[in-house]
Amino acid sequence: MNNIPNRQAICEVLCEAAKTDKNIVVLCSDSRGSASLTPFAKQFPEQFVEAGIAEQDLVGMAAGLAKNGKKAFAASPACFLTTRSLEQAKVDVAYSDTNVKLIGISGGVSYGALGMSHHSAQDIAGMASIPNMRVYLPSDRHQTACLIKALLEDEKPAYIRVGRNAVEDIYQEDTVPFEMDQANILGQKEGLFQVLLVACGEMVRPALEAALALEKEGISAEVIDMYCVKPLDTKTLLAEAVRAEIVITVEEHSPFGGLGSMVSQFVSQTCPKKVINLSLPDSPVVSGKSKEIFDYYGLNLRGIADAAKKALSCLE
């Protein structure tokens, strides 16, 4: 069982890269511990900035450093980074086209027991609506590492959301199929099939488990790991959606403005067919551990599989 959360994978990549690249700067909002960035702060104190509990200042400073040639990675709890500093993300980062990577840690319902104030169920919608801002939700530690390495090589703004807890590996370290802004297909089918599951972030694992369970019941299903929520990989989505009977999106987000909304909009315009969106509700989410919350709202193997079977039965 994997015990390494995606946030730790980010730190490991940045620590390795900073050994030879002194332009890498990491900023935190009194969150180096929860972001797993304490090792970076200890190894590279001259390349680390502690902004304190001041997310707007955090993003503004990151943008200023980027304008002076630095590769800025600003980490803060997703619930605060994407709300308190939305204007700075919009103006200082995206509009000004600065080389800032915003890392939203403990995304979704990772802070489950702390309730709505600490949930980030609107971050995809908020950040994706900003022109020039890319949005990524990697599914496991290996994909996270590949993503951060790729982002170190470009100078464009981006928002990366990762959860707090370790998630089971989707990929093998030595064989991660990664291409920037290209989704991965898991369990790809030949010809026509019944269920296409499109998921991002921590929802890729339960989507994959649901696909395997459906296969055992004689229902053909494949999964798209849409880690690149913006820009959405519409080429892969179209190629698979046209061959599926139904499309189901799965996300740890509000039902509005996230992956489900984007997929529904695209599919309706290019290959109209039934799209089911599985997400958190449009109401304050119950408190509890992440798994308890996922189970409560059916964002798990059984809930996804049952939704697929129900949708298929409506086509008969």
For residue range 50-60, list pLDDT tens digits in order.
Answer: 999 999 999 99
| Dihedral angle sign, alpha carbons of residues 124, 129, 130, 132 | positive
Residues of the chain within CATH 3.40.50.970 domain(s) are: 6-161
Q: From the candidates 12, 16, 55, 251, which is the catalytic residue?
A: 55
**Is residue 25 classed as helix, strand or coil in its secondary structure?**
strand
Residues of the chain within CATH 3.40.50.920 domain(s) are: 184-313
What is the assigned CATH class of domain 184-313? Answer: alpha beta
For residue range 291-309, list pLDDT tens digits in order.
Answer: 999 999 999 999 999 999 9
pTM, whole model, 2 decimals? 0.96
d(CA 161, CA 106): 8
d(CA 209, CA 173): 20
The answer, yes or no, to whether residue 144 has pLDDT greater than 80, is: yes
252 is catalytic: no
* Local structure of residue 111 (DSSP, 8 states): T
The answer, yes or no, to whether residue 15 has pLDDT greater than 90, is: yes
What residues contact 262, with CB distance under 8 A and at least 6 apart?
A: 128, 229, 230, 232
Residue identified by tokens 């551990």 is 289
Q: Which two tokens stand for residue 282?
A: 């449009």
Q: Work out the pLDDT band at 77, boundaries 50, 70, 90.
A: very high
CATH code linked to domain 6-161: 3.40.50.970
Spell out a b/e string for 248-260, using b for 16 or more CB atoms within 10 Å of the CB, else e. Answer: bbbbbbbbebbbb
